[in-house]
Amino acid sequence: MRRSLIHITPGGLGVHTASFVAGLPVAFGPRDEPYRAVAWKVFNQVVAALLLLLFSPLMAVIAICIWRVDGAPIVFAHYRVGMGGKVFPCLKFRSMVRNSEQVLQELLRSDPAARDEWIREQKLSNDPRITPIGRILRKLSLDELPQLFNVLRGEMNLVGPRPIMLCELPRYGQVRWHYLSVKPGMTGLWQVSGRNSTSYEERVELDRNYVEKRSEWLDICILFRTLGVVISGHGAQ
């Protein structure tokens, strides 16, 4: 039996209710009030700037390692769908070989099992495109550090639905309107709910649940839980 991701119980503070989304407590409130939206945008950009300062030495070391092992480019821009359907370059440290698309197409042509997995999940459990250093970066989620620039540019938030490719949008069905109503995030419910151990359908459901129940408190809970997930490497590919 599939476990429900949302449990709601009555609350005792005014019109608020107590809720749990994927095990995280949520305090409902008028998140979309103009002043709160502006304040949260500023919060995201200030925290992103501080994190860039904090992690800049580590990012420099990562860039040097990628360059020494596999040359340029260091950062890879993969186009994803953002708020309102706007496509933007989602930045990551390159964790795949330079001819990754060619490697993928050759694998899909020669391996039916891999092709079925790719069609079903849009990812591969044993991806031959990933470099040795890329596996380390992905396990620790360090490949996503350049997305702090996406947050500064207002294309992403620290927390939100996972950024998806345009070709994935039809698979979201009616949930696509939930996805398109907010900015995608560097982290989110799927990252703290099993990451790559979740099915595609579960990831879509987690994105829908996040959009419907999002609040500042939920975002902060996700940020803190993300630290534990990154340290443990739980659910990483």
Mean pLDDT score of the chain, rounded to an integer?
81
Which pLDDT value is given to residue 171?
Answer: 86
139-196 pLDDT, tens per residue? 888 999 999 999 999 999 999 999 999 888 888 888 888 889 999 999 998 888 866 6
5-58 pLDDT, tens per residue? 333 333 332 333 445 444 544 444 445 567 777 888 899 999 999 999 999 999
Helix (H) or strand (E) holding 207: helix 200-213
Rg, Å, the chain Cα set: 18
Task: Count CB neighbours of 115 within 10 A.
Answer: 14
103-122 pLDDT, tens per residue? 888 888 888 888 888 888 87
pTM assigned to the model: 0.78
Q: Max CA-CA distance within the chain?
A: 60
